[in-house]
Every structure is written in structure tokens, then in C-alpha cells.
Chain A
Amino acid sequence: MSVPRFWRKQIARYNLVGTYCKTCEEYFYPPRNVCPSCRREGQIGDFKFNGNGELVTYTVIHAAAEGFEGQTPYVLGIVQLEEGPRLTSQIVGDPKEMHIGLKVRPVFRRLGQSGERGMIYYGTKFVPA
């Protein structure tokens, strides 16, 4: 991913800043600019999540995505935050300890790097709470 493409959403990725709709009281992470429930009626503002949540489902990836070859096996999960939105992230820890319903908390981690000398990407992963 190019540097500006990553940089544009850096705050959202580093600090779990999403958005919420004041009209529907619905929370969005990843951030959305249009509320799917009320659309143009929506009043969208920023919202910083504390990141506490629960593991909805997960997998242990053995055949890595491009750029993640050195990390296998790694745990990829869908986390539901306390305010409701769900996101995809890696869960750091022993794959054997993972289970649906596991309480998790966020940690700041290196996500990857664009090529050998490229920018290092950081963002939010999760660990068992």
C-alpha cells in the first residue's frame, strides 16, 4: 500500500478512531461517512473506541497473504467492539488459546512493511484481555 494511502487513515488505524451517527446512535469502525441506516439524514462525527471487545470468529492462517510470509501461523479474527461495530484484525497469542467469545483488548503493533526498505506500517491488533 502506498504511503499516502496508508497515511490518510493513520489516525483511525493507530488510535481506533471511527465515526458514529448522532441520528441513529450507530457506531462505525472502519469509519464511514454515510450512515447505512439513515443515509443523507445522518449526522456523522468522529468517535474514539476504547477497543475492548470480543472475538466473533477467527482462523489460523497457514498460507500467508503476500507480505505476511514470515508470520505464519497467525491468527486472524473478527472482533466486535463494545459499542457494536466489528472489524478484522490479527489476534496476538497462542492459536490454541483462541475461542469464539474470547474477551480481547487492543495493542499497538507493527502490521507490515512495503518492500525491504519501504515504510513500516503500524496499527491495532488485539490480545486476550
Chain B
Amino acid sequence: MREVAIIGVKNTLFGEQWDRSFRDLVVEAGVGAVEDAGVAGEKIDSMFVGNMSGGQFVEQEHIGALIADYSGLAKNLHVPSTRVEAACASGGLALRQAICAVASGMDDIVIAAGVEKMTDVPASKASSALAAAADREWEGIMGATFPGLYAMIARLHMHQYGTTSEQLAEVAVKNHYNGQFNPIAQYRSPITVDAVLNSIMVADPLHIFDCSPITDGASALILAPADIAHEYTDTPIYVKGTGQASDTIALHDRRDITTLEASVVAGRRAYEMAGLGPRDIDLVEVHDCFTIAEICAIEDLGFAKKGEGGKVTQQGETAIGGRIPVNTSGGLKACGHPVGATGIKQAVEIVQQLRGEAGKRQVDGAEIGMTHNVGGSGATAVVHILSRNR
């Protein structure tokens, strides 16, 4: 297996972008990443695009070909383009497929992109589209919503471990604080614990400020074999580990409702491949689709003991400057959550941090970073470990 490096990155703005289409967004991200890498179109061997539901959000399928076409890679170059779908983990899985393509020796220069255009439909339709990531026949039919499923995780976590609404709110407060330093973030203003606790209840105990927003956005990465990465950039970032795992589609079938076993196993697989453990990681982008999800994630990935995710957050250990900075980008909560793009955006953030290009949100001396992307209520998880050093 060949070692793989990331040689180019780009995020579009994240937010409500009524003036920009699905294809505008993904082409901007793709072309931007290609420019960042300084690679010619003729060199691109393949592309993988994470997209949850073009069908429901913009009534467009056949996303792979569309994007290759409008990126100028189809008509003359006929670059193979594959759409990857795993609900909100679509981007992370697209990255993993791109890594596999390079590592296997099949392809050299590969684009991993992600995109979602969510505001061309009313918010109610967007929520309904997202609900398709849960079990439509046995959860959705009973009136389950995504906030509702994560609220049930939160309720049990509070019952078993004494986690409080204030601790949940601290996740949102931290991520909004970080988001103000991220020029692409959807929300760039700090909030307070009181503001979270006084915001309207969506699914008890989760308030609206415990939930990530609906977002338009796209992100892209360029991958190359590590051996030739220096031909394109002085600061290649190396892929040290990748892990993916599946679990039951429905929350009710999980062994332990407050543990995302897919996260635990995907994390373990990535750690084993990298020969590293949680103490070696300098910063991590986790899948905080809801505040409780970040608390579960830092426990499942070994950054906090089971049940203590809320406590360590409240103590500031996950803030920039803390023991293990979590979601320096602002996370899904403040940076925004264009579902197919999120897993790629997480890797863009880690690359920018490891290159030392993260501005006011820079983690000093960051050498090794992790991304953690979840589909649905935890039926898919994918984890990547990236490093400045080969």
C-alpha cells in the first residue's frame, strides 16, 4: 500500500447562499483545491464526491458526472467521477475512497470533494430529507426527527452520567467562539450559555442552539502519492490512518444508546493503522451535529472517559489552548453543516492547522490532527488521522 498525501485544499463560504447553485459551489471548491495544489487538469486521474441527497435537495442525481462536466474534466479528459453517499458521512467516505484509490496504486492525482445545497427547499423539506438518514420504516413513521433521536441519546447520557444542559450548551458556546475566527463559517458571533438555554426547545432536552444549521457549501482536497507530493507543495500533509465502521441503522438497536460503537471502532482502526493513540493527537474535528454528539464523540475516540465528555468540555479542555482542542473550525454547529461537504471540510481544517495557516484559531505546534464524520444517528462513522510528518 502506498503512502498518501494531501497537496491542495479549498472550502467555499458556508451558509445560506441563495445566489449560488449546487454546481457553482462544488466547482469553486474543486477548482480552488486544484489551484492550491498547482496541478494541471490533465494530471487528474479520478474524483470522488460526497453528496447525501442531491435528489431531495435539488432534484438532481448523477452528481459525479455533473461535477466532472462543470469542472471541465468530462468533455475532453473524461475523468472518472464517483458519487459517494453515507448520509452526513458522505464527505468522509469520499475522502476514504480517494485515499484507497491512491494507496492502491490505481490512481496518482485524485480529487476528494463534498457538496450539499440545502436551502433551495423550505426548511421543513430539508429536515424531512435529513430524516431519510434514519430508519424511515421504523423510526421516521413514528414521528422521529434527527434532533429527536439525538435528544434521546442526550436524555440517557444525562440520566446515566449526570451530564447537564449547561454542559451541552458549553459545546455550542465553544464552537461559536471558534467560528468567529473562521472566515468561511456560517456563524461568526459568540453566544452565551444562557442564550443556548433560553433558545426554543426543539426536542427536549435539545434547544435550537444545540443543533447544527442547514447550510450550503462545498469543500475539496487533492491527494497524491507521498513520494511525489513535494513536486506540488512544500507542505504536504500525510494520511497516517483511516478507519470506517458500520452499526445498526436505527438508534433503538444499538448495544449502548449513549455510545456510537461505529465511532469507537472506526477510531480504533485509524489509530491502529497510524500506530498512534489519543494522546498523540494535537487537535480533532468531530461530528457535532448536535451538542450531545460532540460529547459522545470525544468519549468514543478516547479523549475523555465515558460519561465525562460534558465535564471536560465545561473545564475548557477542548477549547483552543486546552488539552485537546476540538472543532477549531467552529464545528458543524458554527461553521455550518452542508451534509455531503462536512467530512471534507473537517480535513481541510486539519490541513490548514497542520500547515500553520489557521490564523487566529491556530493551535500552536499542531503536528497530528484527526477528523471524525458520522452518518445518521451513528450507523456510519469514518475517522482519519493526518500528520505534518511522513
Contact = CB atoms under 8 A, between A and B. Distances in A.
Interface in B130-188: 131, 135-145, 147-148, 151-153, 155-156, 159
Given A9-B137, A65-B131, A59 B143 contact: no
B155 A59 contact: yes
Given A60-B204, A62-B202, A65-B128, A30 B138 contact: yes
Contacts of A95: 204
Interface stretch (B33-41, B104-112, B245-253, B269-277): B245-253
Contacts of B139: 88
Interface residues of A, number: 35
Nearest to B124: A66
A14 to B, nearest CB: 13
Given A57-B152, A71-B143, A123-B141, A62 B251 contact: no
Interface in B182-219: 200-206
Contact of B138 (A61, A76, A87): A87
Nearest to A8: B137
Interface in B240-267: 250-253, 257
Contact of B257 (A5, A57, A60, A71): A57
Contacts of A88: 135, 138-139, 142, 144, 250-252
Contacts of A65: 127-128, 131, 140, 143-145, 148
Contacts of A61: 143, 145, 147-148, 151, 202-204
Chain B residues touching A, range: 35 or more
A30 B138 CA distance: 7
A63 B138 contact: no
A86 interface: yes
Contact of B203 (A1, A56, A63, A71): A63
B141 A112 contact: yes
Interface string A74-94: 101110000000111110000
Nearest to A5: B137
Interface in B281-303: none
Contacts of B159: 57, 100
A68 interface: yes
A47 interface: no
A64 B145 contact: yes
B138 A59 contact: no
A71 B137 CA distance: 19
A111 B141 contact: yes
Most chain B CB neighbours (cut-off 10 Å) among A56, A66, A78, A90: A78
Nearest to B154: A59
A62 B204 contact: yes
Given A57-B156, A62-B200, A66-B124, A86 B143 contact: no
Interface of A: 1, 5, 9, 30, 56-68, 71, 73-74, 76-78, 86-90, 95, 100, 111-112, 121, 123, 125
Given A1-B136, A63-B147, 8 more contacts: A59-B151, A66-B128, A76-B203, A87-B138, A88-B250, A100-B156, A111-B142, A121-B141
Interface of B: 124-125, 127-128, 131, 135-145, 147-148, 151-153, 155-156, 159, 200-206, 250-253, 257
6 contacts: A57-B155, A59-B148, A61-B145, A76-B143, A111-B142, A121-B141
Top 4 A-B residue pairs of the complex, sorted by shortest distance between their CB atoms:
A59-B151, A60-B204, A57-B156, A86-B252
